[in-house]
Amino acid sequence: MAVKVSLKVNGKSVSAEVEERTLLVTVIRENLRLTGTHVGCDTAQCGACTVSMNGKAVKSCSMLAMQAEGADVMTIEGVAKPDGTLHPMQAAFKEHHGLQCGFCTPGMVMNAIDYAKHHPDPTEEQIREALEGNLCRCTGYHNIVKAIGAGARAMAAGK
Amino acid sequence: MHAFKYHRPSSVNDAAALVKGEAKLLAGGQTLVQTMKLRLASPSDIIDLGTIKDLAGIKSDGKTLSIGAMTRHADVAHSAEVKKAIPALAALAAMIGDRQVRAMGTIGGSVANNDPAADYPAALLALNATITTNKGKHEADKFFKGMFTTALAADEIITGVSFQVPRRAAYTKFKNPASRFAIVGVFVADFGGSVRVAVTGAGAGVFRQADMEKALAAKFAPESVANIKVKQDGLNSDMHASAEYRAHLVTVMAKRAVEAALK
Amino acid sequence: MGAPLIGARVERKEDYRFLTGAGQYTDDVELPRQSYAAFVRSPHAHAVIKKISMVKAKASAGVLAIYTGEDFAAAKLGGLPCGWLITDVNGQPMKEPPHPCLAQGKVRYVGDQVAIVVAETQAQARDAAELVEVDYEVLPAVVDGSKATAKDAPQLHEGAPDNTCYVWAIGDKAATDAAFAKAAHVTRLDLINNRLIPNAIEPRVANGSYSRADDSYTLYVASQNPHVERLLMTAFVMGLPEHKVRVVSQDVGGGFGSKIYLYAEDVAVTWASKQVNRPVKWTSDRSEAFLTDAHGRDHHTIAELAMDKDGHFLGMRVKTTANVGAYLSTFASCVPTILYATLLAGQYKTPVIHCEVTAVFTNTTPVDAYRGAGRPEATYVVERLVETAAREMKIDPADIRRRNFITAFPYQTPVALMYDIGDYNATMDAAQKLGDVAGYPARKKASEAKGKLRGLGYAAYIEACGIAPSAVAGALGARAGLFEAGEVRVHPTGSVTVFTGSHSHGQGHETTFAQVVADRLGMPIENVDIVHGDTSKVLFGMGTYGSRSIAVGGTAIVKALDKVIAKGKKIAAHLMEAAESDVVFENGAYTVAGTDKKKMFGEVAFAAYVPHNYPHDKLEPGLNENAFYDPANFTFPAGTYVCEVEVDPETGVVKIEKFTAVDDFGNIINPMIVEGQVHGGLTQGIGQALTEGCQYDASGQLLTGSFMDYCLPRASDVPFYQVDTRVTACTHNPLGVKGCGEAGAIGAPAALMNAITDALGVKDMPMPATPQTVWRTLKNKKAA
């Protein structure tokens, strides 16, 4: 049966008529056509679907759209400034070559931004621990870890 | 995912009234939604507890620490109150899944699901917790009934968990390399005079290790447990860890938990 | 003109779109009137299909159509072809049993396609797929390659007795046996190279679309080589003319080999789109990816190395059983032969080598090339043997390697390849220094003081990349050419669009190739765009695999650039009223030697498109050139890896303390990107050695069918790597490049297992070295 879900996505109020069994990621990708949020697994390990919900990084493939009713969601498309300038975390990924195929990248960035808000100067070990829920098959994590450290420090410096 | 009917009750009683047939309660959804996606569970109805007020929160009076059922793992991990009362519990919460999962997953959901490799059941059992529901109270010792089974009635909903504050405690976890669930997790709690040791991951459900409790009550030191051999009988055996390896790890993790508790 | 771009750490042009969610992966393509497909797959490893009932499924909401193998047979769709013919030891062609897109009569592995369901939504397609009732008669299955040829083993294919695809051999057997007869010492190992599941984070997707307007098809597919996909699909399966089929693979989220092949789903959605007259999209979920993406490795090998008393290698004897799975995937046959046995010389002067390979069918997912493809298996054999030999001979493992290194080039190996250049002592020296091997004894002592075991292991690998000289490949059985194509389209105002047959699915070609083009044409990199992944735009292409893109694809572009510059020179000569032979092109400008006459490249381009003053009698207008490049030889990247581990004997946990990689990739275009490729390759190699092991149960059920059980390395499983390069430029391509995509995955498993066996003090142990396996190995050692 179709139900209506209403939420805020990237600052804009949106609603969609969906089947009750619809996942949040499906609403984001298919109803809103925000295809930067990806699906890489079906057991909540890969983290490619990570979005920010009410300020916290969550896996949008692991929740029903109905669980996001009234929530404030930000996807990768909402991260850069309106003029297109990259967020400091995005810029750090670019500078440190923290991405290759780019498929896991939106989830990595969304998790990293949330993490860096609480950890302005993380150690290598802390960053690796924070990436427990994000899989990357291309980079070997080396440059992702470097990028997140640099991005966190740039965020803390208010860049 | 199969189709179902979705409900958003506004109180625990309303939620309980909706429970019938193949209905399922949805807390954080970090296990249930996956299971439904893989079409391994096909509930007729989903009763979302997410919008019921007052189910989340943390309170401590120095002797007991109470956590509301819908409190997220991340909130327990970061809570100053939990860190002060039972730092081992905050540390355990920080070891569940990953940070995205911890932002959604709840203590009530974890306890009700009673996954044999979940972390919280070890804490509940070792900290002699009381599980409060819409129908009454359960002692942890009588609550966990083995794999995915608890003392909860079908329409019984957990509202909170109260832990006894120990003198000292620690949880050590040997993770499954792939899933990061516990292959063996050992929670050791010293109440001064009595010690409780709870083991998760190793068996069909969380259990207490009496030999270790006795040895540690006599002397709370790593060497008290270092040579206790755990019986393999009844322990899980899978491609990641045989019963023999799990039995060995229970001893190693217990020893390391005691070391950590003494730090 | 600024500093040269070749060799510079240029930030990637593709990153902005990936970082802002603007990438266009195949699943992001949603066509008007889109419909969705789900596949009914076999739950059994081996069974006869007795009956398929679709009554309930067809009545399910939103269903448009359901097709089975019978429909495909009636439509005369062919099976999936294998692109490489191996000739066996008796001169007979390998056995190529039919590989139907949808099973016909029999299923041969869990996940084998039985039917395609097309519906209005993805959820409806999946709902209906569950309602298709298939009556199976379950047959016994064989899973283990080394048991497939047993007399009582279940037989998979009528045309392949003893489940044998081929028995193939290379090298001089008699000479090798003679070398062993006079050896002072023989080192012998019985090795398993564990089966791996590729797991690109983007699952496969195929979206087929038929147009009645012009009777043409478009297939959007996550592929590493769209032209090859089109060629195989049109010519061998569907019998369609190529000009009626367009294949598009824009942004692809990782491949590692698994997206080279033509898969049944690609054909099925394309064909179905005509039947239902709507676009049909199938998006694999991860569970399907585990079951159906071509797996990698799966060798069982007995290897022997003969030495004289001083540790000089006299000969090598290798016998391998390669499990190719239930059917031959697109390049399955060449992986355990041409890409494996020819690399068994490694970096060493071993004078005689003999290798025999038996390829067998089993009731498992087809196996094909996965990052490294044959070369990791070869390196594992060679480098585990060499390290073990050093221990047995009590020679330092670096010294035994140095004693046997090839030092004079070109070098003809006894297993067909001709190495053009290399300097193996240079990479060994650099790796020992960077990895502080001198400080190892002190670190080992410190570990022991903590109750930990420490070990150090080397791997000195070589690989054959830049695949491949077509004539050589053809002689070895390839059914395709292996050249590459490129086109340089200069626009009237002087900016450039370059079309390449190489395909980027993470490698950063849009940047690396643009660096080459901008440097050659003396223009800013912003003026160059690289286009790939669309058969309607790119003239032709063989795609990306075997670390071939820069060496073969890059060279094709350079050849096209040479033509552009040459034509520009004629135009410039005309404009400057000079003799063509006096015109020089440098830093983006044509000049006449000894004068101040100068025409910028952009001016020449403009003249080519606004040819008012133009040598019309000699030249066509326009400035647009293409080139096809067929390499003269393989390239031979090589290097030394040093790995140091610390093992917790109580739990069996292995921690990688240091991992040092020094590679020789020839000249380097973008060191930042090269380092990234090494990091990623190393992590996949570490995955093979430490965490990843595909497991089936005896009935053929995949036990490691999700990330809950198949352990992809996470950030906390790996360290920061120490990487560096040494350069001997490739002698036979103009850029002097060799390729870097696979090296890490090739060298890392041997280095890691050499380190772990060193730490544990055992001769061998199986990969992956999971905590349980390490603990058990130590326990068995103690008991022995």
pTM value is 0.98
Whether B186 and B126 map to the same domain: the answer is no
- Lateral strand order in the sheet of C47-53: C106-107, C47-53, C133-138
C453-462 vs C638-648, strand pairing mode: antiparallel
Residue in chain B closest to A52 (alpha carbons) equals B100
- B143 and B95, same domain (yes or no): yes
Domains of chain C listed by start with CATH number: 18-139+202-253+259-292 (3.90.1170.50), 299-468+633-783 (3.30.365.10), 483-629 (3.30.365.10)
**Exposed / middle / buried, residue C22 (Cβ in 10 Å: 0-12, 13-18, 19+):** middle
Q: What is the pLDDT of residues C128-180, one digit of tens each?
A: 999 999 999 999 999 999 999 999 999 999 999 999 999 999 999 999 999 99
**List of chain B residues whose C-beta atoms are within 8 Å of the C-beta of residue C711:** 177-178
Nearest CA in chain A to B39: A42
Residue B212 lies in a domain: yes
Give me the CATH topology for the region A88-156.
DNA polymerase; domain 1 (1.10.150)
Q: Each residue of A115-141: pLDDT tens digit?
A: 999 999 999 999 999 999 999 999 999
Pair type for strands C280-283 and C638-648: unpaired
* C204 CB neighbour count, 10 Å cutoff: 26
DSSP assignment, residue C622?
Answer: S
Closest CA to A113 of B180, B92, B96, B100: B100
Rounded to an integer, what distance in angstroms lies between the CA atom of residue B213 and that of residue B130?
20
Whether pLDDT at C2 is above 70: no
Q: Retrieve residue A31's tokens.
A: 């109803």
Extents of the domains making up chain A: 2-78, 88-156
- Give the model's confidence band at C610: pLDDT under 50 very low, under 70 low, under 90 confident, else very high: very high
What is the least distance, in Å, from the CA of C713 to any CA of chain B?
8
- Tell me the C-alpha distance between A88 and A148, whole Å: 10
Mean pLDDT along residues C620-629: 98
- Read off the pLDDT of each residue in A86-98 and give the average, rounded to a whole number: 98
Q: Amino acid identity, residue B50?
A: G
Whether residue B224 is contained in a domain is answered as: yes
Among candidate residues A73, A72, A113, the one with its CA nearest the CA of residue A92: A113
Count how many pairs of residues, chain A against chain C, have C-beta atoms within 8 Å.
184
- C267 in Cβ contact with C233 (< 8 Å): yes
Q: Residues C217, C273: contact at Cβ < 8 Å?
A: yes
Of B164, B194, B218, which one is at a domain's C-terminal end?
B164
Q: Residues 31 to 60 of B: which have CB under 8 A from any A CB?
A: 33-34, 36-38, 46, 48, 50-51
> What average pLDDT score do residues C525-552 get?
95
A2 interfaces chain B, CB cutoff of 8 Å:
no
Give the CATH number of the domain where residue B102 resides: 3.30.465.10
B99 and B142 share one domain = yes
CA–CA gap between residue C380 and residue C388 (Å, rounded): 12
Query: Residues 6 or more apart from C298 whose CB is under 8 A from it?
Result: C145, C193, C194, C195, C322, C323, C325, C367, C694
Residue B108 lies in a domain: yes
**Residues 279-318 of chain C whose Cβ lies under 8 A from any Cβ of chain B:** 287
What angle do helix axes C671-686 and C743-760 make, rounded to 10 degrees? 50
Which positions in chain A touch C285 (Cβ < 8 Å)?
39, 42
How large is the average pLDDT for residues C471-500?
A: 95
- Cβ of residue A94 closer than 8 Å to a chain C Cβ: yes
Smallest CA–CA separation between A67 and chain B, in Å? 7
Give the model's confidence band at C3: pLDDT under 50 very low, under 70 low, under 90 confident, else very high: confident
Architecture of the CATH domain A2-78 = Roll (3.10)
pLDDT of B53 reads 87
Q: Which of C9, C13, C20, C122 to probe the A interface (max A CBs under 10 A)?
A: C20
Asked if B32 and B63 sit in the same domain, the reply is no
Based on the fold, state whether residues B180 and B240 are members of the same structural domain: yes
Q: Cβ contact (<8 Å) for C22 and A36?
A: yes
With cut-offs at 50, 70 and 90, classify the pLDDT of residue C360.
very high
Q: Please name the residues in contact with C441: beta carbons below 8 A apart, sequence gap of 6 or more.
A: none
- Strand, helix or coil at C646? strand
Domain count, chain B: 3
Q: Is residue B98 located within the same domain as residue B131?
A: yes
Question: How far is A70 from chain C, CA to nearest CA, in Å?
Answer: 23
Residue C433 has pLDDT above 70, yes or no: yes
Is the interface score ipTM higher than 0.90?
A: yes
Which residues 44-83 in chain A show a CB within 8 A of chain C? Answer: 45-46, 48, 75-77, 79-80
Contact between chains at C691 and B174 (C-beta distance less than 8 A):
no
CA distance C184 to C784: 27
Give the C-alpha distances (Å, rounded to integers) separating B77 from A132, B69, B103, B110, C240: 16, 15, 10, 15, 61
> Which of A29, A141, A144 would best serve as a mutation to test chain C binding (most C beta carbons within 10 A)?
A141
Structural domain including B244 reads 168-262
Query: 62-91 in A: which are within 8 Å (CB) of B?
Result: 62-64, 66-67, 69
Instruction: Spell out the residues 6+ positions from residue C352 whose beta carbon is closer than 8 angstroms to its own.
Output: C171, C172, C175, C176, C178, C179, C314, C315, C316, C414
Nearest CB neighbour to C703, from listed B177, B239, B248: B239
Residue of C24, C201, C224 best to disrupt the A interface, most CBs of A under 10 A: C201
Q: Do C680 and A94 touch (CB under 8 A)?
A: no
Do the beta carbons of residue A114 and residue A122 sit within 8 Å? no
Q: Residue range C241-265: average pLDDT?
A: 97
Size of interface B-C (CB pairs under 8 A): 40
Residue that the structure tokens 């221990």 belong to: C391
Q: Which of C17, C200, C680 lies at the smallest CB-CB distance from A140?
A: C680
Q: Taking CB atoms and an 8 Å cutoff, what residues of chain B touch C709?
A: 178-179, 239-240
C37–chain B nearest CA distance, Å: 15
Residue B252 is part of a domain; what is its CATH number? Answer: 3.30.390.50
Q: Which helix (H) or strand (E) element contains residue A9?
A: strand A2-9
- The radius of gyration computed from the CA coordinates of chain C, to the nearest angstrom, equals 27
Contact residues for C69 (Cβ-Cβ < 8 A; gap 6+): C49, C100, C101, C102, C103, C104, C105, C114, C115
Q: What is the DSSP string of A108-139?
A: HHHHHHHHHHH-SS--HHHHHHHTTT---SSS
Crossing angle between the packed helical segments C555-575 and C601-609, to the nearest 10 degrees? 80
- With contact defined as 3+ CB pairs under 8 Å, the chains touching C are A, B
Instruction: Specify which residues B187 forms β-bridges with.
Output: B171, B198
In a domain, B135, yes or no: yes
Q: Do A133 and B98 touch (CB under 8 A)?
A: yes
Name which of C9, C10, C15, C718 to mutate to probe chain A: the one with the most chain A Cβ atoms within 10 A of its Cβ.
Answer: C15
Place of tokens 């860190």: B83
Structure tokens at C418: 């001709």
pLDDT digits (tens, 9 = 90+) for C642-691: 999 999 999 999 999 999 999 999 999 999 999 999 999 999 999 999 99
Residues of B in contact with C717 (CB under 8 A): 177
Does residue C1 register a pLDDT over 70? no
**Mean pLDDT, residues B80-97 taken together:** 98
- Examine residue B53 and state whether it is found in any structural domain, yes or no: no
Q: Is C592 helix (H, G, I), strand (E, B) or coil?
A: strand
Q: Is C149 within 8 Å of chain B by CB?
A: no
Does B104 share its domain with B118? yes
Which of C179-188, C190-199, C545-554 bottoms out in mean pLDDT, i.e. has the lowest? C545-554
Strand bridging mode A2-9 / A12-19: antiparallel
Instruction: Select the residue of A30, A105, A124 nearest C19 (Cβ to Cβ).
Output: A105
Per-residue model confidence as pLDDT tens digits over B25-68: 999 999 999 999 999 999 999 999 999 989 999 999 999 999 99
User: Are B71 and B139 within one domain?
Assistant: yes
In terms of Cβ atoms closer than 10 Å to its own Cβ (0-12, 13-18, 19+), residue C450 is exposed
Distance CA C600, CA C457 (A): 55
d(CA C444, CA C433): 17
Flag whether B36 is in a domain.
Answer: yes
Predicted local confidence at residue C331, as pLDDT = 96
Task: Show which of B164, B179, B211 is a domain's final residue.
Answer: B164
What is the per-residue DSSP string for A137-155? SSSTTHHHHHHHHHHHHHH
| Nearest residue on chain A to C706, alpha-carbon basis | A43
Read off the amino acid at residue B16: A
B192-216 CB burial, b ≥16 within 10 A, e <16: eeebbbbbbbbbebbbbbeebbebb
Q: Tell whether the model's pLDDT for residue A158 goes beyond 70.
A: yes
Size of interface A-B (CB pairs under 8 A): 83
Which among A42, A101, A137 has CB closest to C199? A137
Residues B63 and B139 in one domain: yes
Q: Of C124, C452, C650, C717, which to mutate for an interface test with B (greatest number of B Cβ within 10 Å)?
A: C650
CA nearest to A108 within chain B: B100
Closest CA to B240 of B194, B180, B159, B186: B180
- Shared domain for B42 and B65, answered yes or no, is no
CB-CB contact of C364 with C285 (8 Å):
no
